[in-house]
Amino acid sequence: MAGVQPRNGWVIWLSLALGLLLSVSPLPEFMQIGRPLWVALILTYWVLALPHRVGMTTAWILGLAQDVLFGTLLGQNALILTLITFLVLSLHQRLRMFPMWQQSMVLMVVFGLAQLVQLWLNALTGSRPPTLAFVLPALVSALLWPWICAILRGLHLRLNVN
């Protein structure tokens, strides 16, 4: 690991920027409530694939960018993404060994916890009344995990990102 030169880091940042764009892209009104956590999904893949390159600092910077993009309280999404990254890094070795369906289940719990913290922060700031619909983005994101993982793994291997 000490002698490995980082290559093609632009792929990581480009995919994270795509996640930011997807998170603000317009959706029909009935699909808004189940909008996937695109940034969290892409960040989770890179944290699992390259934990030595993508970590808590990346999550914090990305969260601040998301705060500015959404116009939310500065640090709110940064806290959420850092929490997700911390949990994924804590479970890193186990998650890599799990089959895809178990990874999806664990990530649904991690994303659900993050959504719960998001709901709590929104209730504290008075932004939104608390509802149980906060679980839906975590469920949709867990269902999308195998496809996101397959697409990003293909990019990772094809472009030899390390």
Counting the structural domains of the chain, the total is 1
Judge whether 2 lies within some domain: no
**Considering the domain boundaries, does residue 143 fall inside one?**
yes
Examine residue 29 and state whether it is found in any structural domain, yes or no. no
**For residue 66, how many other CB atoms are within 10 A of its CB?**
21
pLDDT for 3: 58
Q: Is the pLDDT of residue 128 over 80?
A: no
The verdict on residue 85 lying in a domain is yes
Q: Using pLDDT thresholds of 50, 70 and 90, give the confidence band for residue 8.
A: confident
Reply yes or no on whether the pLDDT at 17 is more than 70: yes
| Rounded Cα gap, residues 147 and 13, in angstroms | 19
Q: What is the pLDDT of residue 90?
A: 95
What is the residue range of 111's domain? 12-18+34-159
Residue 61 has pLDDT above 70, yes or no: yes
* Arithmetic mean of pLDDT, 57-75: 94
Q: What's the farthest any 2 CA atoms get from each other in the chain?
A: 52
How do residues 83-127 score in pLDDT, each as one tens digit?
999 999 999 999 999 999 999 999 999 999 999 999 888 888 877
Instruction: Band the pLDDT of 129: cuts 50, 70, 90.
Output: low
Is residue 5 assigned to a domain? no
Does a structural domain hold residue 7?
Answer: no
Angle separating helix axes 100-125 and 76-90, nearest 10 degrees: 150
